[in-house]
Amino acid sequence: MKRKMRVGILTGGGDCPGLNAVIRAVAKKLIIENNVEIIGIKDGYEGLIRNYYKRLDYADVSGILTLGGTILGTSNIANPYRQAVKHRGKTVMRDVSKKVIENIKKMKFDSIVCIGGDGTLTIASLLYKDGIPVVGVPKTIDNDIRGTDVTFGFDTAVAIATEGIDRLHTTAQSHHRVMLVEVMGRTAGWIALYAGIAGGGDIILIPEIPFEIEKIASLVKERYKRGSRFSIIVVAEGAKPKGGKVVIKRIVQESTIAVRLGGISMLLGKQLEELTGIETRAVMMGHLLRGGSPTSTDRVLATQLGTAAAEFVRKKKFGMMVGVKGNSFAAVALKEVAKGPRIIKANNQLVSVARCVGTSFGD
């Protein structure tokens, strides 16, 4: 009797609205059309390192379309090629990829669908290079994965950020304050750009366009003189002044991304209040952008990406990520994805649109 095809699914990196929708789409398509055995790998690559698995039947993936987070759990620390382990009372980084490859072979996976951002997909690229049949699905609220026009989770994050900006408008107007809204975006300012435009931000600060604090202060004072006695500033966590550095919240050495950003809005708020004499307040939206139920747009996109990934598995298009190109989907080599994030270019059309309606980028 022929053995059933066995496919593993893992979700790595930060959580993101739409993860469960992808899991559901991959599993349902493969179960319905090919009677595939689906194995959920728990807690991202941690599951491959420690053999944490669970079988996913059709019923297990039903009713999860609208759920935020991931039913499989995740980790942004686990990395088979740089795993934190205890040695003589100290934490050291070790390459445990050989053990992971052995575990994969013991589980008799015919392929593994890796759902994640650039960190997760870079690791997937290395696994493929080491002979593991993998397929990638682009996930991140930051929308910064190379090789795809958009990632699921982004639309939800922008919607939440926009609602936050809308709510802050009323208190900013009432108290005649400068309100800074800090959103995620380490190296790419897509969330800040989209939410800033959608929420009518007066100033948008993104990593790709270094700002000058004096110019921001001058604009705030100019608005005040014109009768607009408040200002809304939307700032990505990775924004930085010309010739300056990002604001680092803490260092997590064992993480795949050791430097954790956060606090630029607090620093700017203090500086602006000193330069303008106008009261300022800062709000860090942080992980609020990751949580909750995905928007309808993200549910649809995640379902499309999941079914496309299942088709990649069927056709053995391994070492590839499902990328969105215009109105279609394309196979993008994981080694290309691993080359770095997709950032906002200086000639980006939305940057031009924002400038046309009077929005400043602090430059």
Question: Residue 100, Cα to own-chain centre: how many angstroms?
Answer: 25
Helical segments of 176-231, H only: 190-198, 213-225
**DSSP secondary structure code for residue 307 in this structure:** H
Neighbours of 121 (CB within 10 A): 29
Provide the residue count of the chain: 363
Q: In what order do the strands lie in the sheet with 280-284?
A: 203-205, 231-236, 178-183, 280-284
Which residue in the block uniquely carries the two structure tokens 């398509």? 29
- DSSP letters, 20-63, are HHHHHHHHHHHHHHH-PEEEEETTTHHHHHHT-EEEE-GGGGTT
For residue 141, the cross-strand partners are: none
Three-state DSSP at 135 gives: strand
Options 15, 43, 118, 142, the catalytic residue = 142
For residue 248, the cross-strand partners are: 261
Token reading at 315: 């056709």
Residue at 315: amino acid letter? K
Catalytic residue list contains 142 = yes
Which residue in the block uniquely carries the two structure tokens 């699914």? 9
Residues annotated catalytic, as ranges: 142
